[in-house]
Amino acid sequence: MVKMNYAARTLMSFLSFNIGWWACALGASHDHPWLGPAVLPLFVGLHLYYSPTRKGECLFLILLGAIGFVIDTIFIHVGLFKLSPDGLLAPPWLIGTWILLGQTYESMLMMRKTPALLALSGGFSGPFAYYCFEALDILEYRRPLWISLALHAVFWAAATFALFVVRDWCLKLFPVAPTVLVGQPVPTDWVAAPPLPADQTASPPTSQAAHPATSSRPGKS
């Protein structure tokens, strides 16, 4: 496994998310909806290559794509927003933004200590991303706009917590060293400690009391 420290992985996830998100959004707005899904494997591959929780993260991203497809398809059918051009199912470029979002969850672990901040982050950034889609004429919220944005904000504030639970469950299926989940207390019952190197393996202590001292006093004749 190739190692990369937490700060470097955070920077990589930030860049991957932003570049990938704009590829999805601008591709869809310029009649190239395939552009985002085409570059998505590159960013996902880099994320998994350097992730110390590779199997768990892979499962999380797969589930996140499926969750995003179902949720946005429901939102389309209930009329919270509609796509341009019209569609009844969430398109691949929109699902790609969910997967890209999943890559940033490790970098948001520190915010779990402050639930209000985490809810505020999800409640703002979620609707803001979709409002940017509207500015690019690839999505349109139902009017009145402020009601749709408010409902979407409530959803994303709650979904941010729920998706962390999904991620925790995925990582729990593939236990790793406790240093992986920076900023989050890790239950010791599902975290496997890494084996010690051969040269650091502790040798059994030598008991000094193994042989009781014998008396040197001569016996009586």
The pLDDT-based confidence of 1 (bands split at 50, 70, 90) is: low
Residues contacting 106, CB < 8 A, separation 6+: 6, 9, 10, 13, 51, 57, 182
* % pLDDT > 90, the chain: 67
One-letter amino acid for residue 204 of the chain: P
DSSP 66-133: HHHHHHHHHHHHHTSEEESS--SS--HHHHHHHHHHHTTTGGGGGGGG-HHHHHHHHHHHHHHHHHHH
Domain boundaries, the chain: 6-180
**Both structure tokens of 208:** 């000094």
Helix (H) or strand (E) holding 140: strand 139-141
Q: Is the dihedral of CA 172, 174, 176, 181 positive or negative?
A: negative
- Whole-number pLDDT of residue 220: 47
| pLDDT surpassing 60 at residue 198 | no
- Whole-number pLDDT of residue 134: 96
Query: How many angstroms separate the CA atoms of 184 and 13, rounded?
Result: 18
DSSP-derived 3-state class of residue 141: strand
Q: Please tell me the least confidently modeled range out of 47-56, 121-130, 169-178.
A: 169-178
- The answer to whether 95 and 70 are in contact (CB under 8 A) is no
Q: Please tell me the least confidently modeled range out of 60-74, 108-122, 124-138.
A: 108-122
